[in-house]
Each structure stands twice: as C-alpha cells, then as structure tokens.
C-alpha cells in the first residue's frame, strides 16, 4: 500500500491517501488550545485542510476550488465545514482517502515541517485590529524533490526548487500557489491573499499577508503520472471549456490600429493577399477617456459597419482592449463612484494609480454589481455592434500592474519601495484578497458571455477573452492568458518557453504570448525594428514557434526606419518581401493543424490533459535523463516540449543558426515508434541528441506516428 502520508506534525493526527475508495471518516476536527484544524477527505486521493486561530470561519470564504470536487468517490466525502470526528488532539487520529496503486510500500510524501525546537509549522501573527492574521505554514521536502507550476515568472525555470516567489501580480509575473511534485502529489494553497512561496532544500513554506482562515489541499497520484495529477487538480480547480474553432486560427494584433479606416484597410489587405486571419484586435487608447469602455466615436464612427466589413472581407472576428481603470473625466466615473464600484486605497489619496497625467481608480472586480456594470457597458458599446471578444489588459490588480510608479511616466521617480497600493475592494484589502482580482475580472467577462449567449460555464465558448493575469483555476473561463509585456530580444524569447511550461503545470492550458515580443529593448539597437535583418530573424523564429502554441498570436510595439507612422507595422507582410512567404506558410500550417488542435483542446476539456507538455510529463519515467535534466533546468527540458501527444517542438532561441541540437527523449514502451523530422522525414530513435539543419524557415519539429493522423486529429487512439 502506498500512502500519501501527510502528518500534522505538532498534533497526534495523520491523514493518508491509500488504496480503496472508502474513507475511514468524513472529516476530522481537532481543537487544540486556541487553534482549530479541520481535515477532510477531498475528491480522489485528496485531503483538504483548514486551520484558524480564535474565530471560526463562516465556510463562505473566497475559494478557488470546487466543493465538492468535479470528480471524486460517491460517498465518504465531506462538504462545507462538515466532520464526523472531533478531538482535542490528545489521541492519535487517522483519516484515509484514496485510490492509489497498491504495491506494498509506504512513502512519506510530505508532512508539516517540525524539526526539533523549530518555529511551529503553523505560525500565526497579528499586527493590528480586526480579525485578520498573518500566517506561515511549513511543509517538509527533500533536496531532490522537483516542484513544477507556481504560475509564471520570467526565470528560465521549470523546476522551481530553490525559488522564493512573491504572491504579488505584476505585468508578466503571474504567481499562483499550485504545484506538482515529482514525488507524486500536488498542492494548492487556496488563498486569495498576497504572500510568498518558498521552496527550500528541507522546507516548503507558504505565507499569507492577511487571512481569516488558512486553506490548502494535497492530492496524491502515482509518481510520474502527470496526466492523473492534472486530472485530479482540474477536478478541484476547474476544467477548461472548448474554445470556438475559429479562435484556433491566426490572431492579428499590434500596438496599435488607430481608427476604423485603418482596420478596414487591414482586412482588405488580408483579403487581397489571400492570407487567412481569425481575429483582428484593437489595442488601448482607442477610447476617449480611461474607463469609458467605448470606442472613441471621433476615430471609430461606425463600429457595427466596421465589424461587418471585417467579417465580409476576411471572416475574422474582432476583439477590443479594455483597461480596468476609470479616470475622473470618464462618462462612467460619477455613476460608479456613487454606487461604490471603484476600488480605493486604505491610505493615501484613495486613487490606485495614474495614467496620462490623471489619477485613476480600478473598477472593483470583486463586486458582482460592478462586474455587471462593466459587462453592460461593454455589451452596449462593443458586443451589440459586432466586437464580441475582449482583451482584459492591465488586469493584474492593485494598480495598473506595473512594478513602478505612474507607469514610468515620471522622469525622476521610477520605482517606489512597496509592491502595490493597499487597495480596498468590496471583498477586502489588496493584502487579503488581491490575488482574487484578475480572476474576478476574467469572471466578469465570462459571466457576461454566458448571460448574453444563454450558456453556462463549462459549455463550449462562442467568444473569448485575453487576460494579462489569472489565478488558481483560471482555466475554467473562456479566457486565454498571455505572458505579458515582453521585450523583443532573443533572451526573452527563450524565457517564454519555460514560462509557458510553468503555466501548463499550473493548469493553465490556454496560454499564448506576443510573437515577436512586446516592446523595444532600448539597449539593443535593432530590437523591435522591422527594417533590420536582426529583428526580422528574431521575428521569424518567434512567429514559427507561435504556430505551436495553444493560440497563435502576434502583437507588439514595433520600431521602423522607413515608415512615417505613429506605430510601425506588424503584419505578415511587414518583414521584407523575402520573408512574407515563410510567415504566411506558418499561418497556413496552423490552419492545417485545425483537427489536431481541436482534438487536444477537447482532451484538455474532458480530463485536464495538458496541451503544452513539459518533457517530464511524457518521458519523466521512461527516460532517466529527462528527469535529471529537469531537476537541473537544462535547456533540453526548459526549451523543448511536446505540443499535444505527437509533436516535439524545439524553438530556435539564438541568432545566426543554421543547425540546431535537439534532444529526442526515449518514449514510454514505444521504442518501435521513432521520431520523424517534420521537414525531411528522416527518422531517429529516442534517447539521443541529434543535430538537424534549421534554416530560418524551418522550426525544429519532430513527430511521433503518421503525419496523416496528426492532420486528421486521430491522435488519442
Ligand atoms: C474507485 O472508484 C473509481 C471511480 O468510480 C473506480 O474506477 C475504481 O476502480 C475504484 N477503486 C477501488 C479500489 O475501488
Ligand atoms: C482526551 O480528552 C477528552 C476530553 O477531555 C477525554 O474525554 C479523553 O479521555 C482524552 N483521551 C485521551 C486518550 O487522553
Ligand atoms: C512501489 O511504488 C513505489 C513508488 O512508485 C516504487 O518506488 C517502489 O519501487 C514500488 N515497490 C514495489 C514493491 O513495486
Ligand atoms: C487612421 O490611422 C492612420 C494610421 O495611423 C492614419 O494614417 C490616418 O490618418 C487615420 N485616419 C483617420 C481618419 O483618423
Ligand atoms: C493624454 O492627455 C493629453 C492631454 O490631456 C490628451 O491630449 C491625450 O489625448 C491623452 N491621451 C490618452 C491616450 O488618453
Ligand atoms: C456584407 O455582406 C453582406 C452579404 O453579402 C451584405 O449584405 C452586406 O451589405 C455586407 N456588409 C458590408 C458592411 O459590407
Ligand atoms: C449575469 O446574470 C446574473 C443573473 O441574472 C447576474 O446576477 C449577473 O450580475 C450577471 N453578470 C454579468 C457580468 O452580467
Ligand atoms: C541554453 O539556451 C540559452 C538561450 O536559449 C543559451 O544562451 C545557452 O547558451 C544555452 N545553454 C547551453 C548550455 O547550451
Ligand atoms: C550574425 O551574422 C551576421 C553576418 O554574418 C553578423 O554581422 C552578426 O554580427 C551576427 N549576429 C550575431 C548575433 O552573432
Ligand atoms: C514527408 O512525408 C509526408 C507524408 O507523411 C509528405 O507529405 C512530405 O512530402 C514528405 N516530405 C519529404 C521532404 O519527403
Ligand atoms: C552537434 O553539433 C555540435 C556543434 O557542432 C557538436 O558539438 C555536437 O557533438 C553535435 N552533436 C551530435 C549528436 O552530432
């Protein structure tokens, strides 16, 4: 029998997941001095723990997990705050819940970290009036444990062992306290508060800046069986719906199409060049004032006609950007202020940020009425006129999501020595519920879609949103997450691969990025400049990689030498006539992969089986090198991945390359099925590095099985 043996270190109680579907009891409440702990069986092989000092929670606290989970044993599950065994911690209690392969061994996966005379593994402190406390919870780990997930950072790491990660959102940093362990369990810190995650050699520690109850879940699985872990995790945090077929095509965006005439000409250009496009995006500054949530009629005189023309010309849908902030010159300001729909700050002037010289307040995404106000405004001004998809930019919460003052507009003051204003929302403060903000903002658009189309969350999506941030379980909405405002240099391209693989391990399958990078790096003379050979090469490499992401999307603020424009071009034909056929060929390849994409999104919907797959997911048990190199974050594992079950993608991340070294892992029990190089059909056995030719029009790409099956989407039989 293999146990998830999870012991509450300072109390005589242990919770285990073991074989068999029945649980020994339906919840254990231990009251011990001032503190109470509730341990419950949760889903398959899972245990939920809540702990609080002094005041009991209501049971209606903000939560990112389903109770009961989407899948789990028929009986024996506790719901809400229920329990059937109470103790004061003076005798040993045991709780079992599990369905783990029975092989006669017993393994400690983790427990509360309580070495002799150390700080208590559950540590609370108070720093002021009110019922909130700070909490630090410590769990044991071993130096060889590997930790995957934790949301996204920009750090080249897929194994986060050794990392300390602030639970504070910024542009391009979306920390989320969910991880999978190579030991065969997974952990969710189900807290809306800001705080920290620490992955030390012997101790993993999670902290909360302000809480009324501490809540976490541990779920066990067979070590190395990541599909099962993801199935278990997504049964708790949410399954993704199926995206609309059109959204799997090519998404055209830049900073920025400025007016109606420009957008219609863009559509005409796609039509006359016969290049397919599925979504055309309007970026920010398209409104008259921050928080109007309407296109400026001076620039967009007839939105409905524009959307119709775009549709007629290209069959593309449209998406528009919205920011969460409302300036005091917005048509919505007084109304929202009067109704309490704007967030304020706990101290200071009450405004949460500034933009273009005026103070702004973010709308309060945690207030359901404010969400409805936002959606009703968007519906009237965009949706009803044919722009039905929304880009929720600057969605990080607190401020506008930048780690510096006033969006860097001040010459002298670029950063301030605190992370984010302590905003005050209907649901609480930034410290206590700040991690809810982006999630609730995605929820606003989701609820709007569902209300308008008469469908329920989980049903196939008719429309989609694009968000710069998210949180535990964000995959349950019709919403993509992208990697934020990246720089247009090689280093950043390579960083995005590990970032996407960590997003995957967190459960976020609908991930994308700005192909080409978002912004010019001022220290690199060619960065983002479409008229330089250097940037064109980077763009080609980045764009070809984007073909093998869940969503294929270009975006960015480009520079140029030969255009008299406020913002330079970013279309498939903007990178030199010699490169257009290559860019267009990848767009065509993307549409050829439609059935494959549909198949892998369908699987993700049904079981949580991940789309972008770090190599450890498929080869961690069949190829010892994969596991060892993942531990060390070696390039072969941080810069290569499986896209669905059949395609191995190894993006070129360096300039001036004509050859690329790719590690082909040893597949599980299928050594007879070799790897086929996409461009030459040359086949190779797994378990070796190969050097392949990689001219600038060929992304290093290998497949398992026949190409016909891939194009037919017959890949799960
Ligand atoms: C536990 O329940 C699952 C789902 O109903 C079933 O597939 C599995 O066989 C059961 N395992 C045991 C040991 O009863
Ligand atoms: C634990 O405490 C309870 C309540 O005081 C008491 O009834 C029980 O006998 C104690 N059990 C043990 C094992 O000491
Ligand atoms: C049981 O499973 C564990 C974990 O997968 C493995 O390390 C161990 O070798 C197995 N033991 C037996 C007897 O098969
Ligand atoms: C629309 O934007 C384009 C590109 O910046 C510009 O050249 C043109 O003058 C604008 N037209 C209108 C009507 O504003
Ligand atoms: C920024 O402010 C200036 C001056 O008030 C105004 O002319 C301009 O339109 C504003 N830009 C945006 C994007 O709001
Ligand atoms: C779009 O095409 C339809 C059908 O051909 C036509 O009735 C309509 O006038 C066109 N609309 C625009 C804005 O071009
Ligand atoms: C969606 O409809 C529900 C039920 O009428 C309502 O409570 C909610 O506020 C609506 N949400 C949005 C964003 O429109
Ligand atoms: C790993 O990749 C990065 C960039 O993609 C490169 O700079 C670095 O040299 C590579 N490391 C090794 C050991 O090849
Ligand atoms: C790439 O090659 C070109 C021409 O051979 C050279 O000028 C350039 O410096 C090289 N770039 C890098 C980054 O090595
Ligand atoms: C590789 O095989 C596919 C069929 O699987 C074929 O369409 C393609 O032309 C072949 N490529 C080369 C270079 O032979
Ligand atoms: C691939 O090329 C590199 C650089 O030329 C070389 O060091 C390496 O040995 C080659 N690897 C294989 C497997 O041929």
Q: Kindly report the CATH number assigned to the domain that includes residue 160.
A: 2.60.40.1760
Query: Helices 368-381 and 437-453, interaxial angle, to 10°?
Result: 50
Determine the pLDDT at residue 363. 97
32 located within any domain: yes
Same domain? For 233 and 268 the reply is no
Same domain? For 380 and 322 the reply is yes
Give 558's Cβ-side CA count (13 Å radius). Answer: 29
Q: Kindly report the CATH number assigned to the domain that includes residue 404.
A: 3.20.20.80
Q: Render pLDDT for 648-689 as a digit per residue (tens, 0 to 9).
A: 999 999 999 999 999 999 988 755 579 999 999 999 999 999
Question: What is the residue range of 29's domain?
Answer: 5-237
Report the separation in Å between the CA atom of 656 and the middle of ligand 9, taken as the mean of its atom positions.
6
Token reading at 140: 């044991």
- What is the mean pLDDT of the segment spanning 17-37? 73
Number of Cβ atoms within 10 Å of the Cβ of 80: 11
Residue 223, ligand 3, Cβ within 6 A: yes
Same domain? For 285 and 205 the reply is no
Last residue of one domain, picked from the residues 452, 472, 492: 472
Last residue of one domain, picked from the residues 472, 494, 521: 472
522 located within any domain: no
118 located within any domain: yes
Report the separation in Å between the CA atom of 312 and the middle of ligand 6, taken as the mean of its atom positions.
6
Give the residue from 240, 209, 307, 239 showing the smallest Cα distance to 267. 307
Residue 661, ligand 11, Cβ within 6 A: yes
Same domain? For 211 and 272 the reply is no
Residue 2, ligand 3, Cβ within 6 A: yes
Contact between residue 301 and residue 309 where contact means Cβ atoms under 8 Å apart: no
Same domain? For 277 and 226 the reply is no
Same domain? For 178 and 94 the reply is yes
Same domain? For 170 and 290 the reply is no
Same domain? For 316 and 395 the reply is yes
246 located within any domain: no
Same domain? For 214 and 277 the reply is no
Write the Ramachandran bin of 11: left for phi over 0, alpha for psi from -120 to 50, otherwise beta: beta
Give the residue from 656, 648, 633 showing the smallest Cα distance to 690. 648
Q: Which residues of 438-454 are buried (b: 16+ CB within 10 A; e: fewer)?
A: bbbbbbbbbbbbbebee
List active site positions: 393, 485
pLDDT confidence bin for 23, thresholds 50/70/90? low
Report the domain count for the chain: 3
270 located within any domain: yes
Residue 1, ligand 1, Cβ within 6 A: no
Place of tokens 């649980």: 23
Residue 119, SS3? coil
Pairing status of strand 46-53 against strand 250-252: unpaired
Same domain? For 61 and 175 the reply is yes
Q: What share of the chain is helix, strand, coil (3-state, %, to 5)?
A: 25, 25, 50
580 located within any domain: no
Determine the pLDDT at residue 137. 96
Three-state SS letters, 444-468: HHHHHHHHHHCCCCCCCCCCCEEEC
Same domain? For 228 and 317 the reply is no
Q: Is the pTM of this model over 0.75?
A: yes
Residue 50, SS3? strand
Q: Render pLDDT for 90-137 as a digit per residue (tens, 0 to 9).
A: 777 777 776 544 444 567 788 889 888 888 899 999 987 788 999 999
Same domain? For 206 and 298 the reply is no
Last residue of one domain, picked from the residues 411, 438, 472: 472
Ligand located closest to 377 CA: 7
Closest C-alpha to ligand 5, atom 1: 356
Give the residue from 283, 325, 175 showing the smallest Cα distance to 518. 283
Q: Render pLDDT for 237-269 as a digit per residue (tens, 0 to 9).
A: 999 999 999 999 999 999 999 999 999 999 999
Token reading at 551: 């969503």
529 located within any domain: no
Sheet containing 479-482: order of strands: 511-512, 479-482, 465-467, 389-392, 317-322, 279-282, 250-252, 552-553
214 located within any domain: yes
**pLDDT above 50: residue 524:** yes
Report the separation in Å between the CA atom of 624 and the middle of ligand 11, taken as the mean of its atom positions.
21
Give the residue from 336, 396, 346 showing the smallest Cα distance to 371. 336
- What is the mean pLDDT of the segment spanning 11-19? 46
Token reading at 74: 């028929």
**pLDDT above 70: residue 323:** yes
Q: Kindly report the CATH number assigned to the domain that includes residue 704.
A: 2.60.40.1180
């Amino acid at each position: 029998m293999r146990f998830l043996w999870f012991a509450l270190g300072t109390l005589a109680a242990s919770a285990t997941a073991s074989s068999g579907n029945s649980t020994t009891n339906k919840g254990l409440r231990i009251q011990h001095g001032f503190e109470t702990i509730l341990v419950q069986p949760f889903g398959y092989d899972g245990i939920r723990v809540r702990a609080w000092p002094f005041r009991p929670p209501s049971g209606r606290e903000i939560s990112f997990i389903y109770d009961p989970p989407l899948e789990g044993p028929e009986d024996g599950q506790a719901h809400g705050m229920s329990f059937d065994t109470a103790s004061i911690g003076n005798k040993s209690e045991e709780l079992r819940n599990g369905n783990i392969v029975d092989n006669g061994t017993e393994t400690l996966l983790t427990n509360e970290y309580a070495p002799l005379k150390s700080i208590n593994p559950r540590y609370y402190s108070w720093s002021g009036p009110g019922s909130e406390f700070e909490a630090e919870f410590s769990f044991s780990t071993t130096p060889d444990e590997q930790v995957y997930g934790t949301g996204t950072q920009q750090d080249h790491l897929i194994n986060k062992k050794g990392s300390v990660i602030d639970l504070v959102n910024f542009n391009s940093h979306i920390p989320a306290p969910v991880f999978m362990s190579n030991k065969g369990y997974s952990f969710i810190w189900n807290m809306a508060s800001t705080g920290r995650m620490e992955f030390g050699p012997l101790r993993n520690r999670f902290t909360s800046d302000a809480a009324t109850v501490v809540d976490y879940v541990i779920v066990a699985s067979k070590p190395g069986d990541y599909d099962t872990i993801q199935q278990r995790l997504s049964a708790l945090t949410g399954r993704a719906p199926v995206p609309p077929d059109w959204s799997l095509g090519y998404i055209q965006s830049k900073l920025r199409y400025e007016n109606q005439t420009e957008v219609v000409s863009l559509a005409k250009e796609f039509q006359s060049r016969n290049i397919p496009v599925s979504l055309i995006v309007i970026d920010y500054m398209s409104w008259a004032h921050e928080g109007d949530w309407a296109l400026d009629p001076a620039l967009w005189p007839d939105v409905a006609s524009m959307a119709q023309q775009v549709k007629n010309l290209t069959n593309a849908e449209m998406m528009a950007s919205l920011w969460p902030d409302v300036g005091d010159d917005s048509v919505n300001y007084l109304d929202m202020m009067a109704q309490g729909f704007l967030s304020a700050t706990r101290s200071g002037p009450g405004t949460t940020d500034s933009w273009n010289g005026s103070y702004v307040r973010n709308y309060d995404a945690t207030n359901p009425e404010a969400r409805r106000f936002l959606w009703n405004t968007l519906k009237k001004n965009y949706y009803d006129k044919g722009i039905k998809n929304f880009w929720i930019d600057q969605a990080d919460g607190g401020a506008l999501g930048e780690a510096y003052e006033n969006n860097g507009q001040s010459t002298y003051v670029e950063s301030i020595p605190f992370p984010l204003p302590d905003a005050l929302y209907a649901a609480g403060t930034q410290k206590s519920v700040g991690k809810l903000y982006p999630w609730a903002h995605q929820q606003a658009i989701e609820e709007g879609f569902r209300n308008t189309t008469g469908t329920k969350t989980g049903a196939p999506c008719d429309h989609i949103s694009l968000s710069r941030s998210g949180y535990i379980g964000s995959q349950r909405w019709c919403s993509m997450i992208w990697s934020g405002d990246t720089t247009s240099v090689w280093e950043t391209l390579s960083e995005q691969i590990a970032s996407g693989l960590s997003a995957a391990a967190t459960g976020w399958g609908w991930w994308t990025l700005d192909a080409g990078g978002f912004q010019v790096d001022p220290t690199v003379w060619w960065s983002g400049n479409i008229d330089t050979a250097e940037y064109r090469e980077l763009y080609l490499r980045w764009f070809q990689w984007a073909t093998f992401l869940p969503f294929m999307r270009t975006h960015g603020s480009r520079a140029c030498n030969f255009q008299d424009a406020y913002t330079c071009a970013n279309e498939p034909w903007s990178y030199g006539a010699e490169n257009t056929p290559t860019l267009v060929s990848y767009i065509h390849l993307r549409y050829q992969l439609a059935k494959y994409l549909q198949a892998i999104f369908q699987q993700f919907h049904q079981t949580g089986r991940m789309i972008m797959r770090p190599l450890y997911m498929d080869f961690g048990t069949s190829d010892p090198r994969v596991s060892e190199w993942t531990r060390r974050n070696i390039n072969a594992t941080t810069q290569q991945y499986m896209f669905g079950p059949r395609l191995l993608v190894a993006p070129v991340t360096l300039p001036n390359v004509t050859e690329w070294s790719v590690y082909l892992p040893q597949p599980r029990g299928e050594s007879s099925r070799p790897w086929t190089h996409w461009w030459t059909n040359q086949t190779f056995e797994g378990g070796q590095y190969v050097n392949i030719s990689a001219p600038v029009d060929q992304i290093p790409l290998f497949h398992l099985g026949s190409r016909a099956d891939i194009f037919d989407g017959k890949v799960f039989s």
